[in-house]
Amino acid sequence: MKRILLVIAVVALYALHQDIWFWRTAHPLVFGFMPIGLFYQGCFSVAASLLMWLLVKQTWPAHLEEEVEHPKSEEDSRR
């Protein structure tokens, strides 16, 4: 279930990256100076960073790190 939710989140973020609704106008201004499209892209970048952090935290193959941190000794590998 967790994997399905992560895949849905990636697909949703990909779809949200196609921000065709802010292409034609710079108004309204966010905080009185920032065009709405630039603000949207900033928010999208934060969301993408958080999703990447979540993906690494939840799906990182920890067994690969264990093999590097605790290699088998030569004696064990001979047997």
Q: What is the pLDDT of residue 5?
A: 94
Residue 50 within a domain: yes
pLDDT digits (tens, 9 = 90+) for 31-71: 999 988 889 999 999 999 999 999 999 988 878 777 778 87
Domain count, the chain: 1
pLDDT digits (tens, 9 = 90+) for 9-27: 999 999 999 888 887 887 8
> What is the distance between the alpha carbons of residues 43 and 4, in angstroms, rounded to a whole number?
24
Q: What is the pLDDT of residue 48?
A: 97
Neighbour count for residue 54 (Cβ, 10 Å) = 13
Residue 65 within a domain: no
Which residue range forms the structural domain that includes residue 9?
2-59
Residue 9 within a domain: yes
Residue 72 within a domain: no
Residue 68 within a domain: no
Query: What's the pTM value of the predicted model, to 2 decimals?
Result: 0.73
Residue 75 within a domain: no
Residue 40 within a domain: yes
Residue 76 within a domain: no
